[in-house]
Amino acid sequence: MLQISYIRENKEKVIEALQKRGFREIEKIEELIRLDESKRSIQSQSDIIASQANTAAKQVGELMRAGKREEAEAIKTNSSNYKEQIKAFAEDIAELDQKIHDILVIIPNIPHESVPAGLTAEENEVVFQYGEDPDLSQEALPHWELTSKYDIIDFELGTKIAGAGFPVYKGKGAKLQRALINFFLDEAEKAGYIEVQPPIVINEASGFGTGQLPDKEGQMYFIGQDNLFLIPTAEVPVTNIYRDSIVKEADFPIKHCAYTPCFRREAGSYGAHVRGLNRLHQFDKVELVQITHPDQSYQTLEEMSSYVQTLLKKLGLKYRVLRLCGGDMGFTSALTYDMEVWSAAQKRWLEVSSVSNFETFQSNRLKVRFKDENGKMQLAHTLNGSALALPRIVAAILENFQTENGVRVPEALQAYTRFEFID
């Protein structure tokens, strides 16, 4: 959530940046500033009345001690309406605070100056590409046919048990999943991330803190009886570890990784592009979260991007890195890099990771603060990234490494799977 003081002091910059994202309610910025001016005016009046009330109270006390009761009573009578005035002002301020809050929560983050203008995925900027196309035969199969051929993922059985988008992993398919999870966690530990195992349900406060609420209610599964949500990503519970916290500047960067299942309703997702593992309602992911000093967050973002790329290289996958345009970024992000792997049998790119810097957008909601070297309280910067989401990684491995003898398991995973081929 943006800070009202920042919007007030940088109105034109904010408007220009939001237009870069395609934000359609620019008039809300003017309304927000008007409401803030009204609030500050009322607060100023309230402060004057409060000062007058304090002065009157002191005078009454002094007169009573001096035995001048009549004069004291006269001042008390004349100032009797101060409390009512202050109460009325407080009610007006509370009403304005709510209106300001209601607008602030619908305003997305300000994009970083390097974010390209644009509204759709086609306008994202390719900043790096690595690897060669795998040499596959003309008979190469898409992953949904390979999973059936080798009986490692059963989509129909998952539909029977829960519904479409909830596959059942079997045999070597289940072991490949476990191998990837352990590989990603072990690599994260080597990179200095501390593993946590958070809850996979969150309350409203947690959803609001990281920006899923009120923006993404329709994308999350809701447990009505308990007023809880299934997590869309481990980013939410892990970042909320530090909600309402004052962290130590000396502890930066704070680095966590977590494996969790993730749940997304993906309402309205249909068509060939979501077939098989391309888009699921439940999937596994290892997530990275960092909380760091504002001066270091963009260096941290580059380091996180480079780290995710090392994982893709170790798996032997062709990939590319995109800098998302303003209109394709998430609501909370200031700058996002997407990593996509090449799906050889489908002949298309599949997103497997997003690495984002939220600057103070989340920490302002979460109240994650630190004292700088001068003792001044500041908001920290938060970042997160997928390292990695499993379904499309599995799809790419199956498709890119298929041979006449089966699917060759990437060498980096063989110590975890304890087999070289899926056959």
pLDDT (tens digit per residue) in 362-391: 999 999 999 999 999 999 999 999 999 999
Strand-pairing partners, residue 232, are: none
* Residue 292 known to bind ligand: no
* Residue 340 known to bind ligand: no
Residue 262: inside a domain? yes
Say whether both 272 and 398 belong to one domain.
yes
Say whether both 13 and 66 belong to one domain.
yes
Residue 413: inside a domain? yes
**Residue ranges of the chain with pLDDT lower than 70?**
267-273
Say whether both 163 and 36 belong to one domain.
no
How far is the C-alpha of 42 from the C-alpha of 274, rounded, in Å? 54
Range of 203's domain? 121-422
What's the structural domain count of the chain?
2
CA 408 → CA 76, 310, 315, 405, distances in Å?
89, 20, 11, 8
Say whether both 340 and 399 belong to one domain.
yes
pTM (2 d.p.): 0.92
- Which of 42, 77, 104 corresponds to the end of one domain? 104
In the chain, DSSP finds a helix count (H) and a strand count (E) of: 14, 19
Per-residue pLDDT at 269: 53
Say whether both 262 and 160 belong to one domain.
yes
- Amino acid at position 120, single letter: T
Per-residue pLDDT at 73: 82
* Residue 399 known to bind ligand: no
DSSP string, 119-162: SSGGG-EEEEEE-------TT---HHHHHHHTT-EEHHHHHHHT
Residue 169: inside a domain? yes
* Residue 354 known to bind ligand: yes
Residue 29: inside a domain? yes
* Residue 264 known to bind ligand: yes
Say whether both 147 and 293 belong to one domain.
yes
Residue 116: inside a domain? no
* Residue 260 known to bind ligand: no
Per-residue pLDDT at 296: 98
Strands 335-343 and 319-323: antiparallel
Residue 17: inside a domain? yes
Say whether both 176 and 86 belong to one domain.
no
Closest CA to 289 of 205, 360, 194: 194
Say whether both 97 and 144 belong to one domain.
no
Residue 111: inside a domain? no
- Which of 104, 139, 160 corresponds to the end of one domain? 104
* Residue 54 known to bind ligand: no
Say whether both 52 and 176 belong to one domain.
no
Say whether both 90 and 153 belong to one domain.
no
What secondary structure letter does DSSP report for 315? T
How far is the C-alpha of 422 from the C-alpha of 409, rounded, in Å? 7
Task: Find the CATH number of the domain harbouring 284.
Answer: 3.30.930.10
Per-residue pLDDT at 93: 97
* Residue 275 known to bind ligand: no
Say whether both 77 and 159 belong to one domain.
no
Say whether both 230 and 298 belong to one domain.
yes
**Alpha helix (H) residue ranges in 228-319:** 235-239, 297-314
Residue 22: inside a domain? yes
* Residue 24 known to bind ligand: no
* Residue 351 known to bind ligand: yes
Per-residue pLDDT at 273: 67
Task: Find the CATH number of the domain harbouring 89.
Answer: 1.10.287.40
